Amino acid sequence: MDIFYEMAAAGHEQLVFHYDRATGLKALIALHDTRRGPALGGCRSRNYSSESEAITDALRLSRAMTGKFAVLDLPYGGGKTVIFDLGTRGREEAMKALGRAIETLRGRYGTGEDVGTSPQDMGWVAETTDHVWGTPEEKGGDGNPGPATAAGVLGGIVACLEEQFGSPEIEGRRFAVQGLGNVGFELAKSLAQRGGRVSGCDLDRDRVTLAAQTFRFEPIDLEPWIETPCDVLCPCALGNVLNPDSVPRIQAKIVAGAANNQLADEESATLLERRGILWAPDFVMNSGAALFLTTEVSNPEIDKLALVEARIGSIVKSVLQRARRSGVSPRHAAAALIAEKFEGKSGAPYVGQDKIEKSPLLPSDEDRL
């Protein structure tokens, strides 16, 4: 793997290989673009089959974070931590070591929860650095960002319904959710509470049972999820669900969910467009957590989750309108929006400061509250 070639191709600024002598922790921190502010992005921990797989993940995920903060119009850039090996001293010590590594970047990077890490982990990271979000609620932190992501996806779905069917009404529409984890469960529940006819599946049977016990929900089989006759398919489990094999089998008019990297390739994107299926760009749909964790509302009367739902709804709506007016796909419209946020920026990277400040989150006229 030619790492400098990969970094230059996607405009990455810095890739830090961190090895902790005391614990044996091996972690990578990728900083994609700090021209708009410090690089923020969660910490992923999973079994990578090779170092190059971990590097590719860190580079790809940090770049996606830059896009998220640009569409959110927040003064941050994209970063990501990938844990390659937790070492030999246990999870708590590994997370404290990670905090020390983050501290060496002197405010150029801040982390949070991601696949394979939890608020508890972030609580340990917080013992050695202030540059961390999503620590446990009982310690005064923001806790699990899943509900915020689900709120954003809900807002985005409403915008998609309006664009595709001319009405934002959830009531009576049919939704099929893949993955009933942190995000998918909350999303399915909210859709059902608003009168949607919700079906779904999960590899974990207990999640399906819990959904059926908690709200109006129809369990469906795992395999032909993609073929479910419905209005909206909501991928909330895995990446690559939209591929040349699956796209021709879709019966829904909208695909809108939280899963990262839903599109396997360019061919699948083109196929969706040709079939007239509205695909809401995943990195916009699932940016509710990024918005929730990096902002604060000054007025305690404001329901922050409702504001996240409204804001992501407005952003998705403006991306869809822009796509329609320019005759391009929503993903191209989102890419153009991101490019605009960097217009006139010099090439200079952000120089860290001791504290990474949260941004104010205020309702705006465009919010669909």
- Could you give the residue numbers annotated as active site? 80
Q: SS3 of 192, please?
A: helix
Q: SS3 of 21, please?
A: coil
Instruction: Say how far apart CA 76 and CA 14 lie, in whole Å.
Output: 15
Where would I find the beta strands (DSSP E) of the chain? 14-19, 26-33, 39-40, 43-45, 77-85, 109-110, 174-178, 197-201, 218-219, 232-235, 254-255, 278-279, 295-296, 359-360
What residue has token string 């830090």?
A: 16
For the beta carbon of residue 293, count every other beta carbon within 10 angstroms: 22
Q: How many residues lie near ligand NAI (CB under 6 A)?
A: 25
Instruction: Say how far apart CA 7 and CA 1 lie, in whole Å.
Output: 11
Asked whether position 44 contacts ligand NAI by CB under 6 A, the answer is no
Asked whether position 116 contacts ligand NAI by CB under 6 A, the answer is no
| Residue nearest ligand NAI, Cβ-based | 181
What residue has token string 């419209």?
A: 333
Smallest distance, ligand NAI to C-beta of residue 347, A: 29
Each residue 197-236 as x (binds ligand NAI by CB under 6 A) or -, in order, gives ----xxxx--x--------------x-------------x
Return the number of the residue (97 or 220) whose C-beta is nearest ligand NAI: 220
Q: Count of H helices and E strands in the chain?
A: 12, 14
Smallest distance, ligand NAI to C-beta of residue 271, A: 21
CB crowding 69-80: b at 16 or more within 10 Å, else e: bbbbebebbbbb
Asked whether position 121 contacts ligand NAI by CB under 6 A, the answer is no
Asked whether position 129 contacts ligand NAI by CB under 6 A, the answer is no
Return the number of the residue (35 or 60) whose C-beta is nearest ligand NAI: 60
The conformation of residue 225, written as its DSSP 8-state character, comes to G
Each residue 66-85 as x (binds ligand NAI by CB under 6 A) or -, in order, gives --------------------
What is the residue-wise DSSP string for 88-141? SS-HHHHHHHHHHHHHTTTTSEEB-B-TT--HHHHHHHTTT-S-B----GGGTS
Smallest distance, ligand NAI to C-beta of residue 89, A: 26
Return the number of the residue (87 or 152) whose C-beta is nearest ligand NAI: 152
Instruction: Say how far apart CA 66 and CA 36 lie, in whole Å.
Output: 9
Asked whether position 184 contacts ligand NAI by CB under 6 A, the answer is yes
Q: Which of 117, 149, 268, 314 binds ligand NAI (CB under 6 A)?
A: 149
Q: Which of 45, 81, 268, 286 binds ligand NAI (CB under 6 A)?
A: 286
Asked whether position 146 contacts ligand NAI by CB under 6 A, the answer is yes
Return the number of the residue (62 or 286) whose C-beta is nearest ligand NAI: 286
Return the number of the residue (9 or 203) whose C-beta is nearest ligand NAI: 203
Return the number of the residue (114 or 367) whose C-beta is nearest ligand NAI: 114
What element of type H or E holds 59? helix 51-72
Return the number of the residue (107 or 179) whose C-beta is nearest ligand NAI: 179
Asked whether position 61 contacts ligand NAI by CB under 6 A, the answer is no
C-alpha angle 32/115/39, rounded to 5°?
Answer: 20
Q: Which of 38, 99, 179, 313 binds ligand NAI (CB under 6 A)?
A: 179
Asked whether position 295 contacts ligand NAI by CB under 6 A, the answer is no
- What is the contact surface with ligand NAI in residues (CB under 6 A)? 115, 145-146, 149, 178-184, 201-204, 207, 222, 236-238, 258-260, 286, 289
